[in-house]
Structure 1
């Protein structure tokens, strides 16, 4: 298999992997297997999926450094847009299935609950990244400005981890894992930047 075919196959794999949770949620919803509060289950699944994909997007850069395979960078924008999709779905699921579009109550929750504020901030930081993820926009901005803007992904990921950590009540295994992965990725970024400055 040549490199182009391998990249196309990897793109297809990314498409299947990123869309699979939607198929699973639809199946579980249709057959009533999402538990006593299905809306809450949808909120949780969409949020966890978005956070996993966000960390995966960040991890593709060090993975490329280690492997040199261009397929990782070729699909990073694809995963980034899927990340944005899932986190928007998470927000909409929370507003619609959990808060029933009660806008006064939603505003009150955003003001009073820190983890909601962190989650909203994390999503808002991804908006300019999604808008500027296309090649023409990147060319218009210039590489340096685009590169600096897209470092906001680390801030968004940290806010996402804080959001998940605060709302967790008992089992901290997954939020701890998210925090550890993010810390490792940030450390790699700092070491890599220091090496390339020398």
Structure 2
């Protein structure tokens, strides 16, 4: 089996199916009493946000790895990784809405407007939502390659906002958010060094990626 076939037939399906595993592990630890989970709702909220950010950073790593390895099939990993980032971000937001604010929309609106770390986190989610909604091939064709690609470059903004949200949220040990920030800086440097990619005509689903890192 060639390297490209390995990515297409093994790695990509493993990500598509295996992306649910972190949520299973988080849930199991919550109900088994493992770890310091004095507040399970808060733990679920934080764990899903952390997982969303790392799926997002992993999706951004696909393009630099493609350039380094010359293995074009790696771009096929962007979409499943990005979609899992959106799924975990959605669960993270849902935890905040239900457990933190009890669906009190006035309080939620106040938080979004008045608390900076909530503002940037919500902005990151809105971007991911837009990217998820425009990930199908038919939407890409409707938007046109250039407009679609310009929209999906906002994934870097979403990642930066996600890291900032994480940094502002953590009050004591900044090790994890600083590691995430360092990874993002490396990925942004690789993006700038690599330059913009050519805009290709719409092709099968492997080109409809969320997030896209053109």
Do the structures match in fold with TM over 0.5?
yes
Q: Secondary structure at the match of 1:75?
A: helix
Paired with 1:89 and 1:123, the residues of 2 have a C-alpha distance of 11
Name whichever structure is richer in helix by fraction: 1
**Corresponding residue for 1:57?**
59
Q: What does 1:32-43 align with in structure 2 at a 5 Å threshold?
A: 32-33=33-34, 35-43=37-45
With a CA cutoff of 8 Å and minimum separation of 6, indicate the structure with the bigger relative contact order. Answer: 2
**How many equivalent residue pairs?**
196
Q: Which consecutive unaligned segments of at least 5 residues does structure 2 have?
A: 199-214
**2:66 touches 2:72 (CA, 8 Å); kept in 1?**
yes
Q: Does 1:165 align with 2:204?
A: no
**How much is the aligned-residue C-alpha RMSD, in angstroms?**
2.0
Deviations 1:85-135 (A, max 9, x none): 110111001111222223222222222210000000011011221111112
Q: Which residue of 1 aligns with 2:97?
A: 95
Residue matched to 2:28? 27
Residues 191 and 114 (structure 1 numbering): CA distance in 2 closer, same or farther, change over 3 Å?
A: same
Asked if structure 1 preserves the Cα contact closer than 8 Å seen for 2:52 and 2:86, the reply is yes
TM-score normalised by length of structure 2: 0.84
Q: Which residue of 2 aligns with 1:121?
A: 123
Q: TM-score normalised to the size of structure 1?
A: 0.90
Dislocated runs of 4+, deviation >3 Å: 2-6
